[in-house]
Chain A
Amino acid sequence: MVNLREIKGRINSTKSTRQITKAMQMVSSSKLRRAEQNAKAYVPYMEKIQDVVGAIATGTKDSGHPMLTARPVKKTAYLVIGSDRGLAGAYNSSILRQVQRTINERHKSKDEYVILAVGRVVRDYFVKRDHNVVSSVVALPDQPTFADIKEIARNAVGMFIDGTYDELYMYYNHFVSAIQNDVTEKKLLPLTDIAPANTSASYEFEPSGEAILEVLLPQYAESLVYGAILDGKASEHASRMTAMKSATDNASDLISDLSLQYNRARQAAITQEITEIVGGAAALE
C-alpha cells in the first residue's frame, strides 16, 4: 500500500512550488508589459535616426567613413544578448546553440573571433568554453535605459573603429508575441545595408557631411544595440512568463493526479480497516 503521509507531503510541496511559479509568472507578465512600453517609446527615435542616416549616407556617397566601408575580415565579433538568470525556458539555450553552430561553421580557430556578452548566462557559457570574451555586461536592470547600455554599445563600436575586429554581428531574441520569439542574427558593422531615405529632401550640412557622419554613425550603431537589447528584454520576460505558466500548469496536473492517488489510498485503508474489524468480530462468534 502506498504511504498516505508520503503522498500528502508531495502534494504540499508541489503546491508550494506552484505558488512560486505562479508568482514568477505574474511578475514576468507585468515586466513584459513595461518592456513592451519601452520598446514602443524607442520606435520614434529609431525611425527618425534611420531616416537621417539614410538621407546623409545616400547624399554623401563614398564618404569613405570607416564605419561604412567593408574591409577584409581578419577577425569577427559576436555580440550575444542573453539574460542574467535562467528559468526562462529555451531563451538562453536557443541563442547559445545558434551562436555556437555559426561559430563552428565559420571559424577554424579561436583567434578568428571574439565575443561580447550581455547577460551572466551568456558570459559564463563562453568563458567556460575558453572563447575570447572581450567585453561583457551583467546585471542589467529589467527596464534598461540608454545610459545603462551605453558602455557596452560604445565599446562595441569603438573596437570596430580601432580595428580590434572587422565585422560585428549581433544575436538576440526578437520578440514576436508573448509565446513566440525568434533568434535573430543582424550584421551591425560595417553599416553596409543602410536603407536609402524615402524623403527627397536634400539637406544642408553644418559644418559638413563628413563631420556629421562622425557624430551620427556611432550614435546610430549604439542605438541599434540598444534596440536589440530592448527587444531581447521583452523576449526574456515573455519566455519566462510562458515557461512559468507551463510550470504552473504542470504542477496543477501533478497535484490533481496525486490527490486522486491520495484519496484512493485513503479509501483502501478504510476498507481494509473495516474488513479487519468485521473479520475480527466474526472470529469471536
Chain B
Amino acid sequence: MKTVTVNIVTPDGPVYDSEVTMVIAKTTSGEIGVLAGHIPMVAPLAIGAVKLKKEDGSTELVAVSGGFIEVRPEKISILAPSAEAATDIDLTRAKEALTRAEGRIQKKQDSIDFQRAELALKRALNRINVREGNM
C-alpha cells in the first residue's frame, strides 16, 4: 500500500515524523481519514486523538490539543499547540489535571473560567484515553 509522510509539529519541537498508510483525525466538522495522494486540504482539528496506521498494520496514537491538519498529496502536516505520542504521556499528571479541571467545573465560576476548565477537562480526558489506548 502507498505510504505518505506525516509530520506532527508543535512550538516546542517536532513530535512525530514517519511514513504511514492512513491518518485518521478528528476535525471540528467530524472525523476524516486521509490516504496517500489526497488532494491538498486544510482543516482545523478538535481536541482528540490522531490515529496513524502503519504499513505493517499497527496503529499509533497521538493526542493533539487543537491546531489544524494540512494535507498535500505526498505529505501531511499537523500543527498543534501541543501534542504527545501515547508512549510519552504521563498518566499520573493527566489524571491530576483531570481532577483539577473537574474541581473547577464543580465550582462554576464565571463563564470564561468555566469554558477554560471544560477545555482543560477535554484535554486531560483525551490524554488519558490515548495513553490507555481505548479509542
Closest chain B residue to A200 by CB distance? B40
Q: Which of A27-35, A44-52, A233-241, A267-275 contacts its partner? A: A44-52
Which one of B9, B32, B41, B44 lies within 8 Å of A45 (CB-CB)?
A: B9
Q: Is the Cβ of A145 less than 8 Å from the Cβ of B43?
A: no
A-B pairs with CB below 8 Å: how many? 84
Point out the residues of chain B lying under 8 angstroms from A55, CB to CB.
42
Point out the residues of chain A lying under 8 angstroms from B7, CB to CB.
44, 48
Report the bound CA distance from A147 to B39 in whole Å: 33
The main secondary structure of chain B at its interface with chain A is: strand
Closest chain B residue to A216 by CB distance? B68
Q: Is the Cβ of A202 less than 8 Å from the Cβ of B68?
A: no
Can you list, as one digit per residue, whether each of B23-66 has a CB less than 8 Å from chain A (1) or not (0)?
A: 00001110010000001111110000000000000000000001
Quick one: given A44-B14, A48-B77, A216-B68, are A146 and B82 in contact (CB under 8 Å)? yes
Least distance between B65 CB and chain A CB atoms (Å) = 10
Least distance between B36 CB and chain A CB atoms (Å) = 16
What are 23 A-B contacts defined by CB distance under 8 Å? A41-B12, A42-B12, A45-B79, A48-B9, A48-B70, A49-B79, A52-B68, A146-B12, A147-B82, A203-B40, A206-B41, A206-B43, A207-B28, A207-B29, A211-B28, A212-B43, A215-B28, A215-B44, A216-B44, A219-B68, A219-B79, A219-B81, A222-B81
Listed in ascending order, the chain B residues whose CB lies under 8 Å from chain A are: 7, 9-14, 27-29, 32, 39-44, 66-68, 70, 72, 77, 79, 81-82
